[in-house]
Amino acid sequence: MAGRWNENSYNAPAADVANFRGAGPSSNQSPQKMHGNEQISFSSYGVGSTSATPNTFVSPEVEHIARHIQSIWATWKQSKVLTDTLRSFFKSSPNPYNSLLQLINVISEDRLKGKASTMAHTITEEFYKWIKCHESEYEHFLTDELKIRAFKMVLEKKISLNTINTIVKIFKCNTHLDCMEELIRESIKQKRFKEACYASMSLNIQDRFTVEDFLLPLFFMNLVCVTEELLVTSQFQQTALVKYLDDLLVENDDCLYFLANRLNVTQSNNNFSNKSQIKTNLSRIMKKYNIPNELAPNITRQKKKGALVYLFRRYQSGATGIHAWREMALESIGNDEAMMMEVVKMLDNYGDIQECIYFAQLFAIDPSLLPSTIQQELLFCENASAGIDRSIPTEEYNTTEYHDLSLPDKQIHIIDCASKFNEFLDKINIELFDAHLDVFGLDCEWKPELTSDKSDLASIQLATIDSIYIFHLPQLQPAESFKLHWQEFSMNIFSNINILKLGFEWKGDASMIRSSLPIDNIQLHGPGFVDIKLLWKELETKWNFQLPFQNPNEDTPYNSLSDLVKLCFGRPLNKTEQFSNWEKIPLRSNQIKYAALDAYCLLEIYNLFKTKCETSNIPFDEVCQKISNNDRPDMMKPKPKHKRHKYKVPTTNIKSKSPHTHVSGVKHFKFLVPYTLEKLAERLRKCGIDTSIVERSKINDCHYIVNLIKTNNLHFIAFGHAFSKVAEQLHTGQCYCVQNHNLDDQVQEVLNFFKIVVKKEDLNSRCQICNSDSYEIVSSLLMKQIYDSVKIIQNQRTVRYRPPSIDEDYEENDFYGDEDDSEDEGTSVPINAKCLTNNSSKPDDPQSKLISGYTNENSMIDVKPLSADMFNDQNRIFYICNNCGSVRWDNLQWESALGSSLGMKFK
């Protein structure tokens, strides 16, 4: 019943009723009926005296009223009953402001019933709503003294932040900020740190206080949640706390002990008692609020030291090459002279004299400042600069044999400018369909995150069976200038379910792509994507799959791509370039080969898996499909990233305002689309719109497309690079760039931009295959005769010409995975046609022509989608396209679904 008022069902708790009867009506009366002579006379209780203070005196009558309100709360919570009672109380009070203070004082003290803060907040909110309508009547009661009393109560009572904010608004405490600040400082002296913190936030004067006033005491008292509430509201306090904690890192180990004594705070937080925990809290705050490293030089330097030690150990072990080690070392050191000396000392401690001399000479460090061992070594150098150019044969000692790239270097293409990106798109548009590319290897690289700074995506590697493309993002900047290029790349590759994309631990790469490319709603999982690592595990655990170089008596590691390559081909990958600076311009040749092989080896592994599965009778395609369908990312909304993109430009919507102002029907437009939007063309034809498709051989012939559009008065629909090349030669409104990958959304975009209204009679008025609007409608009996005739002809001789069937066309070109086709979608009912009967006809009747297996335009009728049992339904109607001979039949369910997607209602 909470929150609902029923005037016939009010019964107050017995104890409260007994205490309340002397002041009001009988207990069986509804509070809603307490008006006139029966109304509770709050003014008779003597509340509202300015001599009373909320901290020292509350009249007995107000205590009775408070109990009555508590009884209402226990029954109805926040309800009309409570609202009416409170407003009657406020209205009857000589000084409603003072009455509110006394009432809150009682409620906040009574914590036995639980959730007192919630009740107090409700009372203050109800008063705030009421007083806004009567402020002019009672403003003379709102004296400075009353404001101070109200704020003192805020500082003395355990009241929630929301309630404090409401009280501050009611009593307009922000009109005397200096006075209120003094009250807060007095509260700090009394160790009411939480109350002081909340009060400063309610007045928005938190920046007037130092970190030591209440932030650090709250840390010592283990009230971290309160500190978080403050930090969220003040960037000033965020940076001040970061600087303060960072300075503590260079103090003595017992600095927190002395700090707590100086602040006169008891240390009750075991998570804030030593320098290690200072570092933990500082790192967390910097990451959460995206504080730049420059504001915390001490912790940044410590992190860099740790990163350098880690990198050097990788270099010493041979896991990182010398060039990668030096690149990342210089990246970590930057211009920090203190770090320059630190790396020299570190190298001296680890005994690598040659590297120590290299960096000492590179940084031009005064020899007198170097360790004595390095000074002695320098005496043997004939030239002070010789050490920099001296080659170090560390990598030559590594005798490990690695898996090599089988493609020549000339097949590796670096995409680092607009012209090369254009060439790639033009080439891939042809090869996707003519060269039958159906499997790609995908991999990404980015600079290692060695400090709190986040790295951006640096490269995307795309491998086909005979070429590898490396897209170097630091050179493809600004990102917004390449938005159309990436859009076409995404639609042709990422969203193309007919192309299998292979990755290894793909979710990490997908996350980086999604956060770095300047396009939205990229499809990077599900059908068309297979994680090789998941496929490997599935084959081994479920099918007892053994790799050529795998020992069946040993546990198989699932750690890295290099492990898998070794099990497949006997040699691991050379990972010495993994921890290198991938944002370097240009990339080194070793980096290029490493990145290319990481993507290409996925194709090699896939082909090996496929071959072994075929010989072992393992249903490889089914296993891949299972992995693809189960490869779903976390469906929860991603957490907001406080990330500073070094290269990424914020995405913008390239859709312009439509120049079309008048609503038109489907007959007023003729569209032209590239074959990459073939599915959109079919859907527009289903809507009755004349839509032609650019031939594959002409897709890159911009002059041909523009001439075709102007000659036939067409409107062009495309996306990405294909759109930009043509759009610049057409006037505004004659072309449109689709934004979405989802087919239904694309249709809606086009209809909205060109202001086209599709009516029910327009649906399926054109052939989806050839765009013709000429049909013959035949009965089930006549279609059975045609079906039998065509089958006899096919059995007797080889048909010289037959247009592509619906099934073949869909199988070849269906690459939009977001279209939810039903079984009969390709058999929808066309509307415009000339109905035929199945009666005997004259020799020149079209019926005799159809029975012969050909349309009136001499196209052979395609009966492949049909089966003999379909003719059992005598009421079924079939539709034959005169132009291409394709056959469709009535499918009202699909027609209704199409209409619904267009916002049309069907009876």
214-223 pLDDT per residue, tens: 999 999 988 8
User: Counting beta carbons within 10 angstroms of the beta carbon of residue 897, is it exposed (0 to 12), middle (13 to 18) or buried (19 or more)?
Assistant: middle
Structure confidence at residue 13 (pLDDT): 37
Residues 145-165 have pLDDT tens digits of 999 999 999 898 888 899 999
Angle at 585 between CA 584 and CA 588, to 5 degrees: 75
Contact in structure between 850 and 787 (CB atoms under 8 Å): no
Residues 6+ apart with CB under 8 A from 322: 315, 392, 394, 395
Element (H, E) at 592: helix 589-615
Structure confidence at residue 788 (pLDDT): 86
Q: How far apart are CA 282 and CA 41, in angstroms?
A: 58
Q: What is the DSSP string of 683-700?
A: HHHHTT-EEEE--GGGTT
Structure confidence at residue 511 (pLDDT): 92
Q: How far is CA 689 from CA 489, 662, 671, 683, 692, in A?
A: 27, 17, 8, 9, 10
- Between helix 193-203 and helix 177-189 the angle, nearest 10°, is 170
Assess whether the previous peptide bond of 94 is cis (omega < 30° from 0): no
Residues 381-413 have pLDDT tens digits of 644 445 444 444 444 455 689 999 999 999 999
Q: How far is CA 848 from CA 458, 843, 856, in A?
A: 67, 7, 10
Token readout for 455 is: 């790295």
Contact in structure between 460 and 468 (CB atoms under 8 Å): no
Structure confidence at residue 159 (pLDDT): 85
Q: How far apart are CA 672 and CA 204, in angstroms?
A: 59
Q: How far is CA 545 from the centre of its chain?
A: 36
Which residues of the chain fall short of a pLDDT of 70?
1-57, 109-117, 269-270, 381-399, 433-436, 451-453, 556-558, 631-656, 797-847, 890-907
Q: How far apart are CA 901 and CA 316, in angstroms?
A: 62
Structure confidence at residue 452 (pLDDT): 61
Single-letter amino acid code for the residue at 648: K
Helices (H), 139-274: 144-156, 161-171, 177-189, 193-203, 216-220, 224-233, 235-248, 255-263
Q: What is the DSSP string of 460-486?
A: EEEE-SS-EEEEEGGGS-SGGGGHHHH
Assess whether the previous peptide bond of 478 is cis (omega < 30° from 0): yes
Contact in structure between 760 and 907 (CB atoms under 8 Å): no
Quick one: which of 2, 78, 92, 82 has its CA closest to 40? 92
Q: How far apart are CA 262 and CA 819, in angstroms?
A: 68
What are residue 671's DSSP bridge partners? Answer: 691, 715
Residues 6+ apart with CB under 8 A from 813: 675, 678, 679
Q: How far is CA 193 from CA 186, 226, 338, 603, 777, in A?
A: 10, 10, 39, 62, 85
Residues 6+ apart with CB under 8 A from 698: 704, 705
Structure confidence at residue 697 (pLDDT): 75
Q: How far apart are CA 93 and CA 482, in angstroms?
A: 69
Token readout for 327 is: 């690149």
Single-letter amino acid code for the residue at 403: H
Single-letter amino acid code for the residue at 70: Q
CA 334, 337, 343, 346 torsion-angle sign: negative
- Secondary structure of residue 21 in the 3-state scheme: helix
Q: How far apart are CA 249 and CA 278, in angstroms?
A: 7
Structure confidence at residue 853 (pLDDT): 83
Structure confidence at residue 894 (pLDDT): 53
Structure confidence at residue 897 (pLDDT): 56
Q: How far apart are CA 385 and CA 362, in angstroms?
A: 8
Quick one: which of 128, 95, 23 has its CA closest to 65? 23
Quick one: which of 67, 7, 12 has its CA closest to 33? 7
Contact in structure between 138 and 93 (CB atoms under 8 Å): no
pTM of the model: 0.67
Compute the half-sphere exposure of residue 576: CA atoms within 13 Å on the CB side of its CA.
Answer: 24
Structure confidence at residue 589 (pLDDT): 95
Structure confidence at residue 762 (pLDDT): 84
